[in-house]
Amino acid sequence: MGELRLHAVEIGEGSPVVILHGLFGSARNWGAIARRLAAAGRRVIAADLRNHGDSPHDPCMDYVAMAEDVASLIEERGGGRAVVLGHSMGGKVAMVLALTRPALVERLIVVDIAPVAYRTTLGAYASALRALPLRPGMRRAEADAALAATIENPAERAFLLQNLVFDAVGAPHWKPNLAAIEANMPLIASFPEMPRHARYDGAVLVLRGERSAYVRPEHYEATLGLFPRAVFVTIPGAGHWVQAEVPEAFLRAVEPFLALTA
């Protein structure tokens, strides 16, 4: 199968900014940031990546395929060119898009991720969610308690449980394609090998959380090799979920970058 038609939430008017969430996230996680950027004169298009949110499911989850999904979104709804902002997995999608379809990317904002392979335990999260026994009448508190044995952090459980849909009738169900995510975790944790001379010469802002280990000084060389104009900014007090943990500091870094004219 080729590219998928992604579900996206659009708000505001002006030059387009496409937002790409991280693993187990969705467009809805970015509502507050999207509203602020829209109020500042931007048309914000927050996408659900494949196998997430209300977008289609597909067994394939490699970064080139996910980047092509976003390319089609920009061509269809972004007028053929947009600023692209991606967090974590979405940041990798954004980077691959910029490297493979640079004409579509006006400038790039990458949040707390580098173009490198990571060791990850997030596959265990997909397994834990799939193993959760879902039944009619189940409440969110019961699901949270059942996950606590394998996912100890309450904030992480709350984030993951945003993906569990409780209908008026029947058992709750997961929105993400957990089977595809679990099967593709080695690809999601890695970064694809790019052609030898691949690089994106546009402006790039890399935001890293001060308390996060995802973007370390040893990653700068790999990033600059592909994105020679990358600027690294550390957000004080932030962990991996920079935009959710310190939204005002996040916006203070992003808004001047969006206002650049070259």
What is the number of alpha carbons within 13 Å of residue 237 lying toward its C-beta? Answer: 8
For the chain, give the percent of residues with pLDDT over 90: 86
pLDDT band at 168 (very low <50, low <70, confident <90, very high): confident
Residues 126 and 103 in one domain: no
| pLDDT tens, residue by residue, 53-102 | 999 999 999 999 999 999 999 999 989 999 999 999 999 999 999 999 99
Two structure tokens written together for 227: 């994105």
Residues 234 and 209 in one domain: yes
Q: Which domain holds residue 145?
A: 122-183
- The residue out of 165, 183, 201 marking a domain boundary is 183
CATH number at residue 19: 3.40.50.1820
Residues 126 and 113 in one domain: no
Residues 77 and 159 in one domain: no
Residues 105 and 198 in one domain: yes
Residues 177 and 53 in one domain: no
- The residue out of 142, 160, 183 marking a domain boundary is 183
119 has a pLDDT exceeding 70:
yes
pLDDT band at 262 (very low <50, low <70, confident <90, very high): low
| pLDDT recorded at residue 2 | 75
Residues 46 and 88 in one domain: yes
**Which amino acid is located at 167 in the chain?**
D
| pLDDT recorded at residue 260 | 81
Three-state SS string over the chain comes to CCCCCCCEEEECCCEEEEEECCCCCCHHHHHHHHHHHHHCCEEEEEECCCCCCCCCCCCCCCHHHHHHHHHHHHHHHCCCCEEEEEECHHHHHHHHHHHHCHHHEEEEEEECCCCCCCCCCHHHHHHHHHHCCCCCCCCHHHHHHHHCCCCCCHHHHHHHHCCEECCCCCCCEECCCHHHHHHCHHHHHCCCCCCCCCCCCCCEEEEEECCCCCCCHHHHHHHHHHCCCEEEEEECCCCCCHHHHCHHHHHHHHHHHHHCCC
CA 10 – CA 237 distance, rounded (Å): 30
With a threshold of 0.85, does the pTM exceed it?
yes
Q: What is the mean pLDDT of residues 115-128?
A: 88
Ranking 18-27, 35-44, 124-133, 208-217 by mean pLDDT, the lowest is: 124-133
Q: Does 2 map to a domain?
A: no
- The residue out of 183, 208, 229 marking a domain boundary is 183
pLDDT band at 123 (very low <50, low <70, confident <90, very high): confident
Q: Does 76 map to a domain?
A: yes
| Mean pLDDT, all residues of the chain | 94
Residues 128 and 13 in one domain: no
Q: Report the number of distinct structural domains present in the chain.
A: 2
160 has a pLDDT exceeding 80:
yes
